[in-house]
Amino acid sequence: ERCTHVLGIYGHHGDHPIDEERVAATTHLLADAINGSSAKELRQRQESEVEFLAGLGHELKTPLNAIIGFASLLERQIRDEELLEEVEMITMSSQKLLALIDDLIDSYKIQAGKLVLHREHYNLNEILANSVETIRVIADERNIHVRTFLDTNIPDFDFDVKRLQQVMVNLLGNAVKFVPSGGEIIVRSNAESDMARVQVADTGEGIPPEVVPYIFERYKQAEGSESRDVRSAGLGLALCRDFVEMHGGQITVTSERKKGSCFEFTLPFHYEEPVDAAS
């Protein structure tokens, strides 16, 4: 056991009265020292855990990448349609697991204050268009129409390309997962005076009202919900919120049952990270 708080100091020296102000000052000094030590220990423990998780992630990703590589090789050689579908399922499942490992590592780094954005001057619409192409094949297979309305007045500005791609892939992946055949996904971007606004709307079943308040929280799921459209189970949307907020923006969702959902986020053109940001 160890001391974590100082509640007070008591002493007696003959008939001389206790200097209460001095005692109070000493108490505060001791408490500050203990708190500082505890904070340092917490930071060290978090750093060790992040390093351990990153190492574990590397060990898990190495065989997964090998599986994906061999499966991709088989896909190019197999002629049997039924067997090809099974191999494609191996590739898809492995890629999902790979993405989950990356999400777990990113999530823990964010919570530990160890994830740093790497900004570069780039075109936002290019990121949006490229992200749409990542789901185009799946959308076409499911007869889902994907349309984009991108505002060419959005100037190039500084942002983390990788992290915003993650945001878009997560939002589009959710949309294509829950939109029925014949449905639609619309991606819009608009330039405002000091920011860009992006929307990812779909014509899916909508999100259960009981899920909406905590849809961007980690590991949340609507208990007892009969709907299959439970998008808040996991890390994807939580990371969307984290990455957008790290850029100084905000992300929200509106949804109506049987009509669809719309995720919207903003990105300021100029944003200075707090001086105490992780480094």
| In-domain check, residue 273 | no
Q: How far is CA 225 from the centre of its chain?
A: 24
| In-domain check, residue 93 | yes
Cα 188-116-111 angle, rounded to 5 deg: 95
User: Do 264 and 134 share a structural domain?
Assistant: yes
Q: Which amino acid is at 33?
A: A
Residue 265 CA to residue 245 CA, distance in Å, equals 9
| In-domain check, residue 277 | no
User: Do 248 and 167 share a structural domain?
Assistant: yes
User: Do 54 and 103 share a structural domain?
Assistant: yes
Give how far Cα 277 sits from Cα of 111, 243, 248, Å. Answer: 12, 13, 12
Per-residue model confidence (pLDDT) at position 23: 65
User: Do 95 and 2 share a structural domain?
Assistant: yes
User: Do 137 and 96 share a structural domain?
Assistant: no
Residue 211 CA to residue 222 CA, distance in Å, equals 6
User: Do 55 and 8 share a structural domain?
Assistant: yes
Per-residue model confidence (pLDDT) at position 232: 41
Q: Pick from 98, 115, 132: which residue ends a domain?
A: 115
Q: Pick from 72, 100, 115: which residue ends a domain?
A: 115
User: Is 141 within 8 Å of 179 (Cβ atoms)?
Assistant: no
Terminal CA-CA length for the chain: 33
Residue 229 CA to residue 207 CA, distance in Å, equals 6
Give how far Cα 50 sits from Cα of 24, 47, 149, 160, 217, Å. Answer: 38, 5, 40, 21, 21
Q: What is the pTM of this model?
A: 0.74
User: Do 97 and 125 share a structural domain?
Assistant: no
Q: Pick from 115, 137, 171: which residue ends a domain?
A: 115
Residue 176 CA to residue 200 CA, distance in Å, equals 11
Q: Which tokens in the block code for residue 183? A: 């449905």
Give the position of tokens 């049952």: 257
User: Do 156 and 86 share a structural domain?
Assistant: no
Domain that holds residue 204: 120-268
* Close Cβ partners of 243 (under 8 Å, ≥ 6 residues apart): 160, 163, 164, 166, 167
Mean pLDDT of the chain: 82
User: Do 132 and 243 share a structural domain?
Assistant: yes
Per-residue model confidence (pLDDT) at position 40: 67
Residue 75 CA to residue 68 CA, distance in Å, equals 10
User: Do 250 and 131 share a structural domain?
Assistant: yes
What's the CATH number where 131 sits? 3.30.565.10
DSSP 228: S
- Burial string for 217-233 (b: 16+ CB within 10 Å, else e) reads ebebebeeeeeebbbbe
Per-residue model confidence (pLDDT) at position 172: 94
User: Is 167 within 8 Å of 265 (Cβ atoms)?
Assistant: yes
| In-domain check, residue 73 | yes
What's the CATH number where 47 sits? 1.10.287
Per-residue model confidence (pLDDT) at position 223: 42
Give the position of tokens 């190492």: 55
Of how many residues is the chain composed? 279
Taking only the tens of pLDDT, the chain with its 279 residues reads 445 555 555 555 555 555 667 767 777 777 666 666 666 676 667 667 767 777 777 788 888 888 888 888 888 888 888 888 888 888 888 888 888 888 888 888 888 888 899 999 999 999 999 999 988 988 998 999 999 999 999 999 999 999 999 999 999 998 998 899 999 999 999 999 999 999 999 999 899 898 888 899 876 654 434 444 444 446 889 999 999 999 999 999 999 988 999 999 999 999 877 655 444
User: Do 92 and 154 share a structural domain?
Assistant: no
* Close Cβ partners of 225 (under 8 Å, ≥ 6 residues apart): 208, 210, 211
User: Is 186 within 8 Å of 149 (Cβ atoms)?
Assistant: yes
| In-domain check, residue 83 | yes
* pLDDT tens track for 51-66: 777 777 778 888 888 8
User: Do 51 and 172 share a structural domain?
Assistant: no
| In-domain check, residue 165 | yes
- Residue 135, H or E segment: helix 124-141
- Overall domain count for the chain: 2
| In-domain check, residue 157 | yes
| In-domain check, residue 278 | no
